[in-house]
Amino acid sequence: MVSISAPHPPSTPPSLSQADPSYPLSHLYHRVRRDTDTDTNTNTNADPDTNPMKLPIVPSLMLGGLPLGFVPSNYGASSMSQLNTLLGPAAGKAATYGWYAQTYPDQPFNGNQLLWQMNDIVQSGAILEAAVMPVGGWAGLTAQDNSRAVEICNVMKRFTDSGVEVRLRFGHEVNWYVQEGRYEGGADQGVGAYKEAFATVAKACRAAAPKVKMWYSPSWADLATYDRYAPDLQYVDLVGLDFYPDKLANANVEFFISQFKPFHDKYTSGGRIKFAIGETGLHLDANLDAHLAWLQMVCSNEVRRALPNLLSVTYFNVMQTAEQNDYRILQLDGNATTPANAQTLGVLRDAKRRTSLAAPRGLPKGSASDAKRQYVVRLSLHALLGLEALLGLALASHWL
């Protein structure tokens, strides 16, 4: 994550103009310019019918046949570039790039929290999974006043105009953040306001940035809760859940499938709406063996069979220093031979050679405990971004 001290403005990224890719191609491959590609694992014989711009195709990082990406770090404006360097051609580049930004009712949305990462996002070739959080109110996100929605979509357009596929997780984890107080609730716990805001943003994006995919992404709850907050489906392109097992008894593939499948089946059975996992990790006191076992469960044959419309998985690769929560499976302060990184890279490189991955039967014995991490701890990443937005508003508005 960028420092709270005065951040550097983003420079203009290279344009990667391209046709809007279909899901079957775009979630499996990166399209990148040859002059910015240092990966030797490049297919130069791409089918021009499926690759109309004739850009070289670089296979994405896959685990068990599923595209895998990251929320790359909580520091540094080149986090994904560093991760991709660690991954190397033997594993492939991260398929998705999760990042966060907040809107506030009394401030225009200039997108700086995303734009500070723009070079890294564009050069990574990954799909941007932009979680834009309407903190403190819904001003500018209504049918009567869509000004904030237009600002959000204008920022998304800067990415799509640069060739980035964008999945917009607007108001992600709405059911949790209303309870926590970050999103404005009210008598109906924010249901009506969220649905109106989601539709308003979707309409604005259709007008200004039609390539943006709108993503309904609640936090883990139950199907009744997902149904309650679900936006009008004509405005939804993807659905998915953020999921962190809260105790050892829930850290297994059977429980995972039982929690995901009802939501997946109800909302994606028609075929148009797809499914993706925007965040996952272990919400336990766990070591690297446990984190890797969990990730292999999420990307396993069993999950792929149960969730056939699952496009990708994004892992929360973040170190939260204040809470001493280390979700990382790859450490940017090390290199490929650092023991922890070497262990992870071994798993990922081995998985790259196969499309089949049986789920571990559980977490390795002794690798995790039920010493609970309060759910709110993940908010530190979002809170830091919010503080950056407040502290950097004047400077950033001058830069942009």
Domains of the chain plus CATH, in order, are 68-399 (3.20.20.80)
Most confident of 15-29, 54-68, 284-298, 364-378: 284-298
Query: How confident is the model at residue 15, as a pLDDT?
Result: 27
Whether the pLDDT of residue 116 is over 70: the answer is: yes
Query: Could you tell me which residue, 192 or 25, shows the higher pLDDT?
Result: 192
* Contact between residue 54 and residue 48 where contact means Cβ atoms under 8 Å apart: yes
**Which residues are the active-site residues?**
173, 279
Band the pLDDT of 375: cuts 50, 70, 90.
very low
* Long-range residue pairs from 344-349, CB within 8 A, at least 24 positions apart, any chain: 344/288, 344/292, 345/86, 345/87, 345/88, 345/90, 345/91, 347/292, 347/296, 348/61, 348/63, 348/68, 348/87, 348/91, 349/90, 349/91
Tens digits of residue pLDDT in 134-154: 999 999 999 999 999 999 999
Whether the pLDDT of residue 327 is over 70: the answer is: yes
- Write the single-letter amino acid at 197: A
Which of 1-15, 69-83, 123-137, 212-226 is the least confident region?
A: 1-15
* Contact between residue 155 and residue 161 where contact means Cβ atoms under 8 Å apart: no
Whether the pLDDT of residue 30 is over 70: the answer is: no
Neighbouring C-alpha atoms within 13 Å toward the C-beta of 173: 26
Q: What is the pTM of this model?
A: 0.81
Whether the pLDDT of residue 19 is over 50: the answer is: no
Mean pLDDT, residues 281-289: 90
Band the pLDDT of 354: cuts 50, 70, 90.
confident
Whether the pLDDT of residue 323 is over 70: the answer is: no
The pLDDT > 70 percentage for the chain reads 76
Whether the pLDDT of residue 303 is over 70: the answer is: yes
Band the pLDDT of 324: cuts 50, 70, 90.
low
Whether the pLDDT of residue 322 is over 80: the answer is: no
